[in-house]
Amino acid sequence: MGLDPRAKLYLLLLANLMLFFHVGLVTQIVMVVLFLTPLAAAGRLRMAARFAVLYAALTALGMLDPDAMGVPQLHVVAALAVGVSMMLPCFMTGAYAFTTTSASAFVCAMRRMRVPETVVIPCVVIIRFFPTILPDYRRIREAMALRGIASGAFAWIRHPAQSLEYVVVPLLMNATTVAQDLSVAALTKGLGRKGAHTSRTAIRMRAADWVMMSAATAPLVLDIAGVI
């Protein structure tokens, strides 16, 4: 039972606002717990646990007192830790949105939010085409190995431009074919039709969505208002 994609986007936005407003440590911890809850509830327990451990470790590192330890250089490490731990909430909500939303729900949410087809269609195509690129790349590397040209990892360092050319040219040639074939298939299935396009996935803002959204909003508002 997951949240509505729009609620997920809202969480993502909150995480960004946190970054922007420099919330205090307490607020940050509360928000992280709130962000990890739906991730765990969606069955991504291991991912949630990893994020929690990482966040805890970085926060601890940021709490170091380099001056007291007499190693001022450690400030750089501590600063980095604080910086990354600040960005973690964005990655948490991002990972949640990315791994628990089906393509269909994502597209449906975009259309509900009145995102124009000019953006929706390329997004669908990216989701469709992106996973095919790695297998294609492997085929190309194999073909290069059979020809004895620029194979092996070192080739990338010794002849970077040449290697890039060997890989990119077939990839792009393939891309133009795929673009044409996809267009033909999509046109016969009415993708270009004017008027509303619906979805097989019903998305609806439920009580859980509203609860989650307000629960996550509260600490941020309180922090910004200076209460926490």
Partner 1 sequence: MADVVSRTALDMREVSFRYDAGDAADAAEVPPDAFADARQTASPPALDDASLRLAPGECVVLCGGSGCGKTTLTRVANGLIPSFFHGVFTGSCLTCGLDTTQVPIDRLTPLTGSVFQNPKTQYFNANSTDELAFPCENMGMETAEINRRVSEVAERFGVADLLERDVLRLSGGQRQRIAMAAANMLEPRLVVLDEPTSNLDSSAIDDMRLLVARMKADGVAVLVAEHRLAWLNGVADRYVVFKSGRIVRSCAADEFLALSPDTVAGMGLRALDLEPYRQRVRGLVASEAASGRGADGASGVPLLRTRDLVIGHDRRRTGLRFGLAGAGRANGRDHRGVQDRSMPFRRAVDDLTLYRGQIVGLMGRNGAGKTTLVRTLTGLMRPLSGQIELDGRVANAHALTRAGFMVMQDVNYQLFSASVREELMLGFDEDDADARTRCDSILDELDLTAFADRHPMSLSGGQKQRVAIGSALMCGKDLIVLDEPTSGLDRLHMEQVGRLLRRLADSGRTLLVVTHDEELAAGWCDRIVMLSDQR
Partner 2 sequence: MTAPNAPVTTPTTPSSEAESPDTRAKRGLATADLITIGVFSALYFVMVCIATLVSTLFTGGFGSIFLPAIAALISGPVFMLLDARLRKFGGITVMGLVIGLFLFVSGHFALSFVASIVFPLAADLIARAGAYRNKVLLLVSYVVFSYGLTGPILPLWFMKDAYVASLEARGKDAAYIDGVFANINMGTFVLAMVAILVCALIGGWFGQRLMRKHFVKAGIA
Q: Which residues contact 25 (CB under 8 A, 6 or more apart)?
A: 59
- Asked whether position 140 contacts partner 1 by CB under 8 A, the answer is yes
- Residue 70, interface with partner 1 (CB under 8 A)? no
- Distance of closest approach, residue 40 Cβ to partner 2, in angstroms: 17
| Closer by beta carbon to partner 1, 127 or else 222 | 127
- State the residue for tokens 């994502």: 106
Task: Tell me if residue 206 falls in helix, strand or coil.
Answer: coil
**Nearest-angstrom CA–CA distance, 31 and 212:** 11
Site for partner 1 in 3-42 (CB under 8 A): none
**CA nearest to 87, candidates 4, 15, 39, 135:** 15
- How would you label 128-143 residue by residue, b for 16+ Cβ within 10 Å and e otherwise? eeeeeeeebeeebbee
DSSP letters for 123-181 = HHHHHHHHHHHHHHHHHHHHHHHHHTSS-SHHHHHHSHHHHHHHHHHHHHHHHHHHHHH
Indicate the burial class of 67 (C-beta count within 10 angstroms; 0-12, 13-18, 19 or more).
exposed
Of 202, 207, 225, 226, which lies in the binding site for partner 1, with binding defined by CB under 8 A? 202
53 interface partner picked from partner 1, partner 2, none, CB below 5 to 8 A per type: none
Binding partner 1 (rule: CB under 8 A), the pick from 178, 208, 222, 228 is 178
What distance in Å separates the CA atoms of residue 221 and residue 228, rounded to the nearest whole number?
A: 9
Window contacting partner 1 (CB under 8 A); options: 15-23, 62-70, 71-79, 142-150: 142-150
For residue 41, the minimal CB distance to partner 2 (Å) is: 19
Interface with partner 2 by CB under 8 A: which residues?
Answer: 9, 12-13, 15-16, 19-20, 22, 24-25, 62-63, 65, 67, 72, 75-76, 78-80, 82-84, 86-87, 90-95, 97-98, 117-119, 121-126, 128-130, 133, 161, 164-165, 168-169, 171-173, 175-176, 178-180, 182-183, 186-187, 191-195
148 touches, from partner 1, partner 2, none (C-beta below 5 to 8 Å by class) = partner 1
Q: Which residues bind partner 1 (CB under 8 A)?
A: 95, 98-104, 106, 124-125, 127-128, 130-136, 139-140, 142-149, 165-166, 169-170, 173-174, 177-178, 180-202
